[in-house]
Structure 1
Amino acid sequence: MSASGALNGAIAGAVGCSALNAAGYLDMAVRARPASSTPEETVRQLAKLAHVDLGPEDRAVNRRSGLGPVLGYVIGIGAGAAFGALAGSRRAPSGLVTVLLGGAVMAASAGSLAALRISDPRTWTRGDWIADIVPHLAYGMAAAATFSRLRPPSTRCR
């Protein structure tokens, strides 16, 4: 495992998070849909499980609104860092890296929703899946491109 690989991966994960958010906001604008409440609900459930009091409801709602996106960044940056540490100097096709990174972040987010009983991906419609896959592919593409660009030319993704 490589510390510089983990740092490069974390940077790539941060760029991927920006792409995921941009894709999500664009989807909201195009389809005129509201923001998802699942990040805030995830924070609510995690705080409950950890026995953490977020304060009176008028303040707790704001804390959940702030911590929900932060949790998304933790997942995205963490996935990038883990990938970078594990990838080391190995080369891989950029398409494979895109799918690995996007899929890992999607699995982490959908898996946490299922584990916390916030949503059941088995009941999602085709439209729900597309709305989830597209931003995660944007994450994977941006993170893979950034990770490749940060590596020395001899170890870049093909």
Structure 2
Amino acid sequence: MSRPGALDGAVAGAVGTVALNLVTYLDMVLRARPASSTPEESARRLARVAHIDLGPEDRAANRRSGLGALIGYATGIAGATAYAALAGRRRVPLPLAAAALGAGVMAMADGSLAALRVSDPRRWSRSDWLSDVVPHLAYGTAAAATLGRLRPPDSRR
């Protein structure tokens, strides 16, 4: 009897996060837009809330940059791990699983931005939303497809 567990969800989340990053970087190349400052600002605010000194500013900036990226991976991995646990042995159709995974991780990410007062999604433009939705759809599709490949064809085994 095999079922998607934490490891399957973590692998699917990592693959989804790579897809999200690829789409985001491609968007930056195509539209010549700058990188978002929200990951680093989230890291700054989390460090402040946790009373963690990141060191002198020149080193703290580098740490915030690394922490911002790690927070993104942690969010993507945690989202797919939670989804795999909730889905259990059920094989959810790919479009539905992709939408659920993408929307779930997008809600986690955007909710944390709002909670930390880094950004207010209620004030985003259409372009801002597209820059957020499209990569999260790529995340959901890649994570769902990976999770589907990690499950046995007959989940009743």
What is residue 64 of structure 1 aligned with on the other side?
64
SS of residue paired to 1:153: coil
Q: 1:146 and 2:151 equivalent?
A: no
What is residue 123 of structure 2 aligned with on the other side?
123
What one-letter code is carried by the residue in structure 2 that aligns with 1:50?
A
Root mean square deviation of aligned Cα:
1.5
Deviation at 1:155, TM superposition (A): 3.1
Structure 1 range deviating more: 125-134 or 147-156? 147-156
CA distance in 2, matches of 1:34, 1:92: 37
Map residues 106-117 of structure 1 onto 2, 5 A cutoff: 106-117=106-117
Aligned length: 155
Q: 1:102 and 2:102 equivalent?
A: yes
CA distance in 1, matches of 2:3, 2:41: 34
Q: Is the 8 A contact 2:3 2:155 kept in 1?
A: no
Q: 1:49 and 2:52 equivalent?
A: no
Deviation track 1:70-112 (CA, whole Å, cap 9, x = no partner) reads: 0000000011111111211012111110011000110011111
CA distance in 1, matches of 2:4, 2:133: 29
TM-score, with structure 1 as normaliser = 0.94
Map residues 76-95 of structure 1 onto 2, 5 A cutoff: 76-95=76-95
Deviation at 1:143, TM superposition (A): 0.3
SS of residue paired to 2:5: helix
CA distance in 2, matches of 1:67, 1:15: 19
Deviation at 1:4, TM superposition (A): 4.5
CA distance in 2, matches of 1:99, 1:3: 21
Q: Structure 1 unaligned runs (5+)?
A: none
Deviation track 1:114-143 (CA, whole Å, cap 9, x = no partner) reads: 111111000001111011000000000000
Q: Is the 8 A contact 1:14 1:77 kept in 2?
A: yes
Q: Is the 8 A contact 1:94 1:145 kept in 2?
A: yes
TM-score, with structure 2 as normaliser = 0.95
CA distance in 1, matches of 2:126, 2:90: 35
Q: Is the 8 A contact 1:8 1:84 kept in 2?
A: yes
CA distance in 2, matches of 1:131, 1:4: 31
